[in-house]
Homo-oligomer: A and B are copies of this chain.
């Protein structure tokens, strides 16, 4: 595995502060549910579904309505603070780290487990490509699929 994503906790701690500040700056009040979602998201290395956020919070004893979780994640996504990843039946959400620390995903087509990787050469190819398209490309996602080491025959 190349480009394993490290130094997670520091970056993500900064992310929680940043997200909270951006919300305030955009004129939003602070409430318990949204703060709980941000706390939990800040502790994640990779993407979580809304249901997983719900379950994770309940496991901590912080019971939050699932609707509030969707509303919080949607707002964070619209402010560019989380990335939404469509892979399968439910969307995944993860903290959007500062540019240059993108990562992408490999999904095991047997067990469904999602892992992440970073690859500068891939980012580079996408950057070059983006400049040549007629669209004003703002973001990108790469999803690879295949058997993970545990599932390989």
Where the two chains meet, the residues of A that have a C-beta atom closer than 8 Å to any C-beta of B are 1-2, 86-88, 106, 108-109, 115, 117, 119, 121-122, 124-126, 128-130, 132-149, 152
Contact = CB atoms under 8 A, between A and B. Distances in A.
B149 A145 contact: no
Contacts of A88: 86
Contacts of A152: 136
B140 A144 contact: yes
Contacts of A108: 135
Nearest to A138: B146
Instruction: Tell me the dominant secondary structure on chain A's binding face.
Output: mixed
Given A121-B125, A125-B122, A136 B130 contact: no
17 contacts: A86-B86, A86-B87, A108-B135, A121-B125, A122-B129, A126-B142, A134-B148, A134-B149, A135-B147, A136-B147, A138-B147, A139-B144, A139-B145, A139-B146, A140-B142, A140-B145, A141-B145
Given A121-B128, A125-B122, A146 B142 contact: no
A139 to B, nearest CB: 5
A114 to B, nearest CB: 11
Given A136-B146, A136-B152, A121 B115 contact: no
Given A119-B125, A140-B142, A141-B142, 4 more contacts: A86-B87, A106-B133, A121-B128, A138-B147
Nearest to A119: B129
